[in-house]
Amino acid sequence: MPQRWVKLPNGNVIDADRIVTISKPESYPKMDEDGNDGIEWSVLIGTGLTRDTQVSVTGSKDEIFAFVGKLIASG
């Protein structure tokens, strides 16, 4: 089976064929280095059914929704 690499917002890549779960995207407040308030988004992806095989992907709203869109489109 060929591998389908998808780039994460932080620059790393993951094989989309290994992903078995995707959580609902969630937002939470964050503060940047300069003390400005903002919103960060995250989604939890799992390459297995146990907690130690889950990866938290964080980024801006556009980055997270583009990432989830790539996962859905590559399926």
- Model pTM? 0.74
* pLDDT score of 1: 55
Total domains, the chain = 1
* pLDDT score of 14: 87
Cα separation, 19 vs 68, whole angstroms: 11
* pLDDT score of 5: 86
Q: Residue-wise pLDDT tens for the chain (75 aa)?
A: 567 888 888 888 888 888 888 999 999 999 888 888 999 999 999 988 787 889 999 999 999 999 888 888 765
Q: What angle do CA 50, 8, 69 make, to 5 degrees?
A: 90
Domain with 49 in it: 5-73
